Structure 1
Amino acid sequence: MKTGIATVSISGNLEEKIEAIAAAGFTGIEIFEQDFIADIRSPRAVGQRIRDAGLEVMLFQPFRDFEGLPDGLRAKAFDRAERKFDVMQELGCDLVLVCSSVHPQALGGIDRAAADFAELGVRAAARGLRVGYEALAWGRHVNDHRDAWEIVRRADHPSVGLILDSFHTLGRGIDPDTIRRIPGDRIFFVQLADAPAIEMDPLYWSRHFRNMPGEGDLAVTDFMRAVMATGYDGPISLEIFNDQFRGGSPGTIAQDGHRSLIALMDEVRRAEPASSAGIPALPAPIEVRDTAFVEFAAQGSDLIALEQLLESMGFRRAGRHVSKQVTLWQQGDIRFVLNAETGGHAGTAWNARGTTVCDIGLSVGSAPDTVARATALGARPFSQPLGPGELPIPAIRGLGGSVMHFIDDGTLSEVWDVEFRPEDGSTPGAGLTRIDHVAQTMTYDEMLSWSLFYTTLFDMQKAPMVDVVDPDGLVRSRAIASPTGKFRITLNGAETHRTLAGAFLAEGFGGTVQHVALATDDIFATAAALAKTGFAPLDLSPNYFDDLAARFDLEPDMLAQMRAANILYDADGTGEFFQLYSRPFAGQMFLEIVERRGAYAGYGAPNAPFRIAAQKRFQRVKGMPAT
């Protein structure tokens, strides 16, 4: 399977783009003419540089405003085409993209356009070149791939074929199954792009809001299934116009693009097996059964404070590592690992960030399959030297330099018995049962990358993005969850250091887990138990509870309990949601306790402004810098 990406899709100069595209694992490259023109090297030198990087020059694009012009302009269009053919031959590229005309003097008519392409095909064939015709969604006369195909069909020249672009088809709401009627050998090239569902002018939408397959709302998989059903076996490439990507890291964007293509084609292979020969087989998207553990790197006074917090929440120290300064704290199915090692990954993480979540362990059906799928999608495996008594647990690099380990039902499930000596201490607990969700904080620019990371590796669906109002700015949040709800992650993108999330990023030198939410079956019983163990909740404004009484029809006794215990509340048509927060620790980190009633699947977003305001008040009282 040949994979490509247009140079316009990523930031940087042409050299930076070539390096990033090659490093990401693509087979080839589309040369966007503007990138080539801006480069000082000759066409021959550029082509050679691309081949030296292990890439094929798949396509030269775009050639605009060609077909249907009146006589004087028509002659000039053919002259322009000949000049582009000169460049292509020097580059070593045999295919040019001609997009449907938007010229104000262009004349309509299928036969007129077909005649133009028939002649262009003769000229291209004389040079050993090919011409691909693409219907722009905003083309003056041709804006539908069905019309473009009819022009190609009537041109009836072997050097003239169709180029399909998912955005131009799906963005106009055209049924992608209409592609199935086109002979696969007449499709010369396929470009892919996704986009969020936005009502706006198609040209502006296309030029500013395209993103990688899987990052938007278009039915790109259905489009590609239809393409493969034709028997098409040519390149599959990305053409992304996105303002955010233009200012991002070339390497990151290229890696995201390659990941999106591999995941998309794996999905197509599963849905359309009869027509998907040549697509590499991957393990299926991984089902995450639960969060097996969360590991903190912590030392000194922060370690002592974290231990005291866990004790106040009913956790018991269940074990000590057989060879390292690592302890296991447990309650119900929740496991927190506190790592005080000065070396290894935890030591490096602590040196860089101070107290931080350095590792997340996930319970999966097959750890080897998880790592195999992850590495095929571009994730980096992680390993470090094993100490005495340690098991080799498969792992990859995660967000912000953190690590994700995978534990399955085989021998790896015995890690707690093998690596930890049990402790005798016990506590009555506080009714906490499991990890409800993990909240990861990052820059807003990273959110699409990490959403793609999770949804392509795991069997997870993303919820619509929501705005979280911080008194000092806006944070955008997106939840991603497994179908069962056993594994949930919220991705929170900060745009300014003045927000609580932004301050966490600034102080921790990059994104990772900012808080962990713990589930209980009875938050009022849990709050009562915590009151006896010395837990100090986050104090909320009395005005919050007065407002609750006005917004919801709550029983007075329950509202009084919520006020006394600082329990927040939300509800929708499916159920109810209760929240209780710890005070911040180690800077901007905190723990949350939640109870879900009914089928409530949200995260209490309406409460976020009041929780954040309370956290900032606490920090000012404690003498910490206000964000």
Structure 2
Amino acid sequence: MKRSIATVCLSGTLPDKLEAAASAGFDGVEIFENDLLTFEGSAKEAGWLACDMGLSVDLFQPFRDFEAMPEPQRARNLDRAERKFDTMQALGASMVLVCSNVQPHAIDDPARAAADLHEMAERAHRRGLQVGYEALAWGTHVNRWRQAWEVVQAAGHPALGLILDSFHTLSLGDDLRGLAETVPAEKLFFLQLADAPRLSMDVLSWSRHHRCFPGQGELPVAGFLREVMRAGYAGPLSLEIFNDEFRGAPSRRTARDALRSLIWLEEQAGLSTLPALPGLHGVEFVEFALDHAAREAMGRFVSRIGFRKAGTHRSKDVELWRNGGASLVLNAEPDSAAAERFALHGPGVCALALRVDDPARALARAEALRCPVWTERRGKDESELPGIRAPDGLLIHLVRDTAWEGDFAIGDGAPGALLGVDHVAQAVTPDMMDSLALFLRSVFGLEPEPLLELPDPYGLIRSRAFSDAARRVRVPVNVSESARTSTGRFVSATAGAGVHHIAFRCADIFAALEGAPPLLDIPANYYEDLDARLGLDAAELARLAKREFLLDRDAQGHLFRHAYTPAFQERFFLEVLQRDPGYDGYGAANAPVRMAAQRARPPAGWT
């Protein structure tokens, strides 16, 4: 279907917005009136600019506070409509959006509203234009689509139809039941789509500041779209998003996210098919971008929790380090994507490898969702590691099995107690949170877990984990408005975003970290509180305190024992954890203690 986007979704000037929409691959745009008012050319020139970029102008909007107004405002509104029709014809737009009146002195008379819209539609019809009427969720007398349809039906003009908006319907807890049986398909003039997180606030503020693209929020937009299509709608699928972060984000990135969200939504609503979601089998390895000095320091760092060098790459300056089932790749190859990332950001995680059931299918899905792909230079007979670029630049390799290990000259092995990677957390700037959420959800099928707010000694961190149903891949995403917080420090260090926390699971944390130096200095007050809250066995509490391990317990009594390292060169830190079967969290209750301890001087053995 034709895909469109409202210019209000994007940052910048009108030419910036049109260029971003065109470069992302949209077919058309809704021109928001404010964007035209600040354009330095004429309406005709704006229309030419859109046309030159291959974009149709599908809608001009909004026309506010029109229907059911007392005289002389009614006459002035009709004159205003004629002026806007002039603008539309210059733009090349054939339809105007009229949103339901929000003025307190609007007359509560559906018949009067219908008569006014009939008159406006008649004037539009003489010019070959159409009028679409939309129920605003905060309209004074009309705020639901059924009310809007009753007005349109009573007006009875062929140039007047209904505009549906997913946010205005779903934010009120309404639905589209009866649409197909009530509204003729030819009267469904236009469709606007938006998602949003579920928030407790007035609907106007919610709409103006917190909308997001489908797949980034919590509203049932796919079901909404299915009902519209069942009713016979045949127009564009258009996005209309008001979002404070989007207004300041790069317009091209936002436009790419927007198109990805529509492609994903079409799949969810059954309008199109994509290559199936990959079957995920865990994180195969974590790759770090380093130079020789940083790699030597990194080797010392990870060896303290039991990692050992297991092999060297046959053709590249890359080392493989292992502890049991956990693998780390330390990449100091000068001619590589890792080297580029190191030059920009310093030492840090540059790539993850996910084990999937079919790398080719996973790559095809990512390409269909407009994700950039990457193929690293490889030597003769070396494994191919196809990769996808995440919105923050992180490279995600796709592997089916352990064939990639053949690229390394493996030594005597690296026994250890770690079972593998439990989760990989990313620190992002506020404007990247929604982009990364959509990427993880649409490409890999990772669904969001409940949002957590974690107190840092210098601010507040919002954390949301994304995971598959089997919990084989878990990606907590952390964001803070303050650069002083722990998350803020890691974001600053990587110039925008980065993996800042890698957690490894084990069957017995005491055995796994036997012989390791103390990881963090945990205050005695923590263990006193733990005893008071949980009433632990005295021997268990003493073991935890001696090793300075942390513990959490869920409502069902399942335990979670874990320990963190200090940060490596202020870029990332590691965690070793032991989950009881049934424990599904991340030890969030201990996050404030961990963050405070990491700001203190590292214990002996880590400096």
Q: TM-score, normalised by structure 2?
A: 0.96
Aligned CA distance change for structure 1 residues 164 and 617 (closer, same or farther; 3 Å): same
Contact 2:461 2:479 (8 Å CA) reproduced: yes
Letter in 2 for 1:439: A
The one of 297, 322, 334 equivalent to 1:305 is 297
C-alpha distance in 2 between matches for 1:99 and 1:588: 49
Say which of 332, 343, 348 aligns to 2:335.
343
Tell me the CA shift for residue 496 of structure 1: 2.4
Shift of 1:464: 2.2
Q: Does 1:498 align with 2:481?
A: no
Contact 1:580 1:592 (C-alpha < 8 Å) held by counterparts: yes
Q: Residue type of the partner of 1:424?
A: D
- Report the Cα offset of residue 425 of structure 1: 4.6
Q: Is the 8 A contact 1:60 1:97 kept in 2?
A: yes
Residues in 2 aligned to 1:239 and 1:619: alpha-carbon distance in whole angstroms: 49
Does residue 314 (structure 1) correspond to residue 302 (structure 2)? The answer is: no
Match of 1:208 in 2: 209
1:378 Cα offset (Å): 2.4
Kindly indicate whether the alpha-carbon contact (under 8 Å) linking 2:348 and 2:571 is maintained by their aligned counterparts in 1.
no
From 528, 546, 569, the counterpart of 1:586:
569
Could you tell me whether the CA contact under 8 Å between 1:285 and 1:458 is conserved in 2?
yes
Which runs of no fewer than 5 residues in structure 1 stay unpaired? 270-275
* TM alignment of 1:171-570, pairs within 5 A: 171-181=171-181, 182-269=183-270, 276=271, 279=272, 281-398=273-390, 400-408=392-400, 413-417=402-406, 419-427=407-415, 429=416, 431-527=417-513, 530-531=514-515, 534-570=516-552
Residue 470 of structure 2 aligns with an amino acid whose one-letter code is T
Following superposition, the deviation at residue 401 of structure 1 comes to: 2.3
What SS does the corresponding residue of 1:149 show, helix, strand or coil? helix
Measure, in 2, the Cα distance between the counterparts of 1:612 and 1:234: 51
Superposed CA offset, 1:307-334 (max 9, x none): 2333333334332211111122223332
Q: Percent identity?
A: 44
Secondary structure at 2:128 match in 1: coil
Aligned-pair CA distance for 1:294 = 0.6
Structure 2 partner of 1:612: 595
**Pair 1:601 & 2:557 matched:** no
Name the SS of the counterpart of 1:308 in structure 2: helix
1:576 aligns with 2:565: no
Q: Is the 8 A contact 1:468 1:608 kept in 2?
A: yes
- CA deviation string 1:403-438 (max 9, x = no partner): 1110125xxx42212x122212544x2x21011000
Give, in whole Å, the separation in 2 of the partners of 1:124 and 1:114: 15
- Shift of residue 376, structure 1, vs aligned partner: 2.2
CA contact (8 A) 2:426 2:476 kept: yes
For each residue in 1:233-252, what CA deviation from the matched residue of structure 2 results, as whole angstroms up to 9, or x when unmatched?
A: 21111111122222222222
Which amino acid letter does the alignment assign opposite residue 169 of structure 2?
T
Post-superposition shift, 1:134?
Answer: 0.3
SS at match of 1:439: strand
Could you tell me whether the CA contact under 8 Å between 2:19 and 2:53 is conserved in 1? yes
**CA apart distance, 1:216:** 1.9
Alignment partners' CA distance in 2, 1:526 and 1:383: 36
1:94 is displaced (CA, Å) by 0.2
Conserved in 2, the CA contact under 8 Å of 1:294 and 1:337?
yes
Q: Match of 1:65?
A: 65
Q: Are 2:356 and 2:399, in contact at CA under 8 Å, matched by a contact in 1?
A: yes
1:442 deviation in Å? Answer: 1.4
**What letter corresponds to residue 483 of structure 1 in structure 2?**
A
Equivalent-residue separation in structure 2 for 1:400 and 1:112 (angstroms): 53
* In structure 1, distance between residues paired with 2:391 and 2:236: 31
Mapping of residues 99-114 of structure 1, within 5 Å: 99-114=99-114
Q: CA deviation at 1:587?
A: 2.6
Q: 1 CA distance for matches of 2:567 and 2:152?
A: 64
Tell me if structure 2 keeps the 8 A contact 1:7–1:30.
yes
- In structure 2, relative to structure 1, the CA distance for the partners of 1:223 and 1:308 (3 Å cut) is same
Q: Deviations over 1:368-401 (max 9, x none)?
A: 2212221222211112332233222211112532
Displacement of 1:620 in angstroms is 10
Structure 2, unmatched stretches of 5+, are none
- The number of residues matched between the two structures is 605
Q: Contact 1:500/1:588 (CA < 8 Å) preserved in 2?
A: no
Q: Which one-letter code corresponds to 1:608 in the other structure?
A: A
Query: Helix, strand or coil for the counterpart of 1:86?
Result: helix
- Residue number in structure 1 paired with 2:77: 77
1:500-528 deviation line (CA, Å, top 9, x unaligned):
2222222332311112100011222223x
Q: Aligned letter for 1:28?
A: G
8 Å Cα contact 1:85/1:124 also seen in 2:
yes
What SS is found at the alignment partner of 2:375? coil
1:298 Cα offset (Å): 2.1
1:96-152 Cα offsets, whole Å, 9 max, x none, are 001111233322333322222222222212111111010111112111101111222
Give the C-alpha shift of residue 458 in structure 1: 1.3
CA contact (8 A) 1:302 1:586 kept: no
C-alpha deviation, 1:491, in angstroms: 0.7
Structure 2 CA distance for aligned equivalents of residues 76 and 333 of structure 1: 74
| 3-state SS in 2 of match to 1:584 | coil
Q: What is the aligned partner in structure 2 of residue 272 from structure 1?
A: none
Counterpart position of 1:26: 26
C-alpha displacement at 1:621, in angstroms?
Answer: 8.9
CA contact (8 A) 2:33 2:60 kept: yes
Mapped to 2, the partners of 1:136 and 1:362 lie a distance apart of 44
Q: Is the 8 A contact 1:323 1:389 kept in 2?
A: no
Structure 2 residue aligned with 1:45 = 45
Cα distance in 2 for residues equivalent to 1:309 and 1:237:
51
The amino acid across from 1:376 in the alignment is A
Matches within 5 A, 1:162-173: 162-173=162-173
- Distance in 2, Cα, partners of 1:291 & 1:122: 62
Quote the Cα distance in structure 2 between the aligned partners of 1:84 and 1:449. 35
Matched AA of 1:142: V
Query: Are the counterparts in 1 of residues 135 and 143 from structure 2 also a CA contact under 8 Å?
Result: yes
Q: CA separation in 1, counterparts of 2:427 and 2:102?
A: 44
**Alpha-carbon distance between aligned partners in 2 of 1:66 and 1:426, rounded to the nearest angstrom:** 74
Distance 1:226 1:486 in 2: 34
Q: What secondary structure sits across from 1:30 in the alignment?
A: strand
Is 1:442–1:492's contact at 8 Å kept on the other side of the alignment? yes
| Aligned mates of 2:422, 2:312 — CA distance in 1 | 25
- The answer to which of 581-590 and 135-144 deviates more is 581-590
Corresponding residue SS for 1:512 = strand
Separation of aligned partners in 2, 1:315 and 1:385: 27
The answer (yes or no) to whether the contact 1:445–1:493 under 8 Å persists in 2 is no
Whole-Å separation in 1 of the counterparts to 2:582 and 2:184: 47
User: 1:188 offset after TM fit, Å?
Assistant: 0.8
Tell me if structure 2 keeps the 8 A contact 1:58–1:94.
yes
